Structure 1
Amino acid sequence: MRGAKFIGVAVVLVLAAATGCNDNDSGGAEAASSARVPAGLESFYNQKPSWKNCGDGFKCATVQVPLDYAEPNGAKVGISAIKLPAQDKSDRIGSLLTNPGGPGGSGVEFVRQAGRAFGNDLRRRFDIVGFDPRGVASSAPVRCNTGPQLDRFFATDTSPDDQRETNALAAESKQFAQNCKTKMSAELPHVSTVDAARDMDVLRAALGDRKLTYYGASYGTYLGAFYAEEFPENVRALVLDGAVDPTMSSTDLLIEQAKGFETGLRAFAEDCVKTGSCRFGDTADAVLVNISSLLAKTDKTPLKSSKDSRKVTESLVVMGIARALYVKEYWPVLRQALTQASQNSDGTMLLNLADEMVERKHDGTYSSQTDANMAINCVDKPSPTNLATYGKAAIKAQKAAPRFGPFVVWGGLPCVYWPVQTKQQPKPITAKGAAPIVVIGTIRDPATPYKWAQGLADQLSSGVLLTFDGDGHTAYLQGNHCITEATNDYLITTDPPKDGTTCR
């Protein structure tokens, strides 16, 4: 989520086979025409995208939306979309719109990589659809910083020990914000989650669906919740997996996320000890102490890397560890990376993980993920107005989450200097009048703590909480049969699982 250094990574997701059931909603252009069309936006809602083959059975199109919904006759933004068509057109329900998270993750790439991993019954009855939200990837991307500028930003010490280090961090954060002001000033006010939610309703109509069927992971839950708040009458079935609590302030959100990474790291440490060959200690507490020692050592002397000439600073080490905590299957890789770093002062594997986290390519360039992530987060919620106030939040974070707190909170510092500030305060989302909405929470989710799923499910007037007693970020995508069956049945029939169901 918030902060370019710690975000909801768009992970390739593997889904178990879906279960078939009865049709509930027919979809199609005729059905779509019966949904409410906001005044002045008829040309956008009535557009017919030109779907073209774009390789490997996929079809791609661009859907036009207004840059500023208050001025629909002004500049436009092209939203890139992709779909894997339903296998059985005679039994087709409609479209399953998806968002993999971020903010900043490419929904087009997600569906291209993972569209066929959806269960057979879902693929048979739904077009699997992805899109790049405005400001992301191929939808008028926010691009502010060069590769070398981002290298310097990510390597900067985000656990400052004195005023000199704090000033250096502030200077990098100011430069990040200034670069975006210089290059993207016209677009920055219009990349909010509310704007993206309104785009989703245009997409729904352009896809020919009377109501929306949606799967959102991580930040995608935040986007889906805002959609339900704006268009409750257009909700057919929404799955919000790895939920974000919309009531939290920008800094409180980061502090809670840091605590989530601490929970994930302890789970990793406990698993390391259980393997019987853990090289970092005989107990979970010992493992955590040794990891803390490694971080303290790296703060003074960065690790080397055989990958390139970059120094693997403490900030990059923490980022690499965090990346591995997103997916439990990465834990063996993390054990190896930490061994390499501890025994040989070699941070190559940790650097590889950190680069994957922020989508840095082998040639030193980056995707738009980091710039888009910061731009969307900064405009979505108010930030502290000065460095001193922000620093108090970092101190609070360090006490609550000693290994991750400072890094997560200081990572959002550019928002203090951002050229576009919002006055809209966080508030509960109720989506009154919406059909049942399924919120999935994973008990030891490092990036979106379980309490956020509980909070969102309670806020939503039709929220249904589905719990996964497991590790890693998000649940539906991990292949747990109980989660998969309950979710797929709901997407097909619109009948939700019993509120409070727990899967193990």
Structure 2
Amino acid sequence: MRGRRMAVAGVAAVVASATGVAAAGVHPAAGAVRTQTGAGAASDGLDRFQRQKITWGRCQSGPDDAAGRELDEAKAQCAEVLVPLDYSRPGGRTVKVAMSRLRATDPGRRRGVLLYNPGGPGVPALHLVLQVKRAAPQVAARYDLVGMDPRFVGRSTGLNCGWPEAVIGSAGPDRRTFDRGVALAKDMASRCAGHREVLPHVSTRNTARDMDVIRAALGEPRLSYLGSSYGTYLGAVYLQLFPRRADRVVLDSAVDVDRFGPDLTGTQGPALRAALRHWAAWAARRHGRYGLGATTGAVMATVERISRAADREPLRVGGHRVGARLLPLVLFGVTAGDSEETYAGFAADVRVLDKAARGIEVSPTPMLQAVLTGLSSPDADGAASAQTAIMCGDRAVPRDPETYYRDIRAHRDDEPVFGALIRNLTPCSFWPVPPAEPPTRVRNDVPVLMVGATGDPGTPYAGQLVTHRALTGSRLVTLRGAFRHTVYGGLFAPRDACVDGAVDRYLLDGVLPARDTVCRAVSPVGG
């Protein structure tokens, strides 16, 4: 991301969605949807959507819309397209999907449209096309860059369940704290019951179908795509549904396509601990500055001591109370990247928490203040409920709370910091409606470039390999020795010239590596 502030903001979005969700029973859609293969669209009643006229205009929606103003200053255009709420009933209710476009800066060499999805799920992307242009101006020269706010996200038709809190957080140290989370999850799910008619259609499959409507409405025979994190799953689903519509596709830090769903975070434990140890080694070399421990083990012990203190009673951090429910979410900030800047910012936050755990009066760093304020705020704009709805609409998970409690107890010792967070239940265990369709089984041979890091704490490398095997036409560029989530272009983490070169060659010249390749990261630990 763009510096530590954007990195932590992105991490918070991922954590909020991944630790506030879980799904209900799965059963097939009411009718077959022939758009799975990209064929038969007109006969399925989609012709009016695919041939709709797009009316482009200014992006700024009002005097306080700074993001829209920045898009306008960059000469971007914004528009909305209509799509079916339910693709099995294209003659029924419609919803709006908002998008932005930055035209190719070298129109004489333009080769098509590149749609960007940064992940989430449910992260608005209209404004983020500007980041792609800044990170990869040579790509922006050849492609029209398109950002889409997925259905029910951002400026698209909205979904807001009126949640008084945005996250469930950690299950805490005992049965009492776990039961509080169960009650919160039930309450959050019940608040979405008024949207029963909409919820089954808030899904990755329908977002992929929306992408293809946009492609057709733009008059493009094929669509190029750049997706990171959850955006890789969206891209993989698009490839499965519309294999002949895909042009050049890049998946950065791929999600395990066989496991994606509300409980996917349960696979993160080893990768999170490895990332925390990597940062701890960095902090140990700077014990004189941060005072967190002179060895990796000592720094890890400090973090675990902070965690135990928060289990006993909330830590006082300025005007905030950071208890067992929220502390792991704060510590999840270690996943924001492995640059010097990010590690230093995280160390400063841990130093504050360490003092608070020892009863010393402290004030939060500006970044910690922002994170704590965000975690304790209500879901005013519905972003968290929309993110949750996407996950709930994609895959079913167990509905019995005991399933989660047993899993958490089984991993107390080997996952002392994050286990009760990543294995906790979510509102999807009590979701008012089941998914409308079964999960997408991704298996195809469409050419794809995948990039990712061996130490990725957000989408563990083992899951990336699962997706690589499922996409038999893919080539994988591995950044070895890096502990960061997303690796291309400096969009969400430090840049790497080797990775960037491979992606740019593919997007600009269509050249996939002849075989899987390895790039070696420069680690900040030895500095």
User: Would the TM-score normalized by the shorter structure come out above 0.5?
Assistant: yes
Query: Is it true that 1:223 corresponds to 2:249 in the alignment?
Result: no
Within 5 A, what are the aligned runs for 1:277-292? 277=288, 278-292=290-304
Equivalents in 2 of 1:66, 1:251: separation in Å?
Answer: 25
What is the Cα deviation at residue 3 of structure 1? 9.9
Selected match of 1:406 from 420, 426, 429: 420
Match of 1:315 in 2: 325
Matched residues in 1 for 2:12 and 2:285: separation? 33
Measure how far apart 1:208 and its partner are: 2.4
* Contact preservation (8 Å) 1:217, 1:240: yes
Please say which of residues 233-242 and 272-281 is displaced more in the overlay: 272-281
1:389-422 deviations in whole A, cap 9, x for unaligned?
Answer: 2322333454553211211221x42111011223
SS at match of 1:73: coil
RMSD across aligned C-alpha pairs, in angstroms? Answer: 2.6
Q: How far, CA to CA, are the matches of 2:160 and 2:297 in structure 1?
A: 42
Q: Using structure 2 for the length normalisation, give the TM-score.
A: 0.82
Task: Provide the residue aligned with 1:47 in structure 2.
Answer: 52
One of 307, 327, 332 as aligned partner of 2:337 = 327
SS of alignment partner, residue 52 of structure 1: coil
Q: How is 1:258-297 mapped onto 2 (pairs within 5 angstroms)?
A: 258-275=269-286, 277=288, 278-297=290-309
SS of equivalent residue, structure 1 residue 262: helix
Q: 1:6: how far off?
A: 4.7
> Are 1:207 and 2:207 counterparts?
no
* Distance in 1, Cα, partners of 2:372 & 2:98: 25
Contact 2:161 2:385 in 1 (8 A): yes
Secondary structure of 1:471 counterpart? coil
Shift of 1:327: 2.4
Residue 118 in 1 paired to residue 123 in 2? no
Which residue identity lines up with residue 318 of structure 1 in the other structure?
P
**Partner of 1:485 in structure 2?**
501
Counterpart residue number, 2:514: 498
Structure 2 stretches lacking a partner, 5+ long = 1-10, 20-37, 60-71, 521-527
Aligned to 1:100: 118
- Is contact 2:309-2:315 (8 Å) kept? no
1:111-190 equivalences under 5 Å are 111-112=129-130, 114-146=131-163, 149-150=164-165, 153-154=167-168, 158-162=171-175, 164-182=176-194, 184-190=195-201
Contact 1:323 1:357 in 2 (8 A): no
Letter paired with 1:420: V
Find the aligned partners of 1:424 and 1:75 in 2 and give their Cα distance: 18
Q: Of residues 356, 372, 392 in structure 1, which corresponds to 2:386?
A: 372
- Which residue type is aligned with residue 326 of structure 1? A
What does residue 30 of structure 2 align with?
none
Q: Give the gaps of 5 or more residues in structure 1.
A: 10-33
**Cα 1:252–1:365, aligned 2, differ >3 Å: closer, same or farther?**
closer
Deviation at 1:367, TM superposition (A): 4.3
Is the 8 Å Cα contact of residues 397 and 428 (structure 2) preserved in structure 1? Answer: yes
Q: Distance in 2 between matches of 1:381 and 1:194?
A: 11
C-alpha distance in structure 2 between counterparts of 1:249 and 1:429, whole Å: 11
Number of aligned pairs? 465
Determine the structure 1 residue equivalent to 2:28.
none
Contact 1:241 1:475 in 2 (8 A): yes
Residues 38 and 316 of structure 1, relative CA distance in 2, 3 Å threshold: farther
Cα deviations by residue, 1:299-335 (Å, 9 ceiling, x for unpaired):
22212233xx442223322212213422233211111
Residue 352 of structure 1 deviates from its aligned partner by 3.1
Mapping 1:316-465, distance limit 5 Å = 316-328=326-338, 329-343=341-355, 344=360, 346=362, 348-349=364-365, 351-352=368-369, 354-355=371-372, 366-410=380-424, 412-422=425-435, 428-432=441-445, 434=446, 436-465=447-476
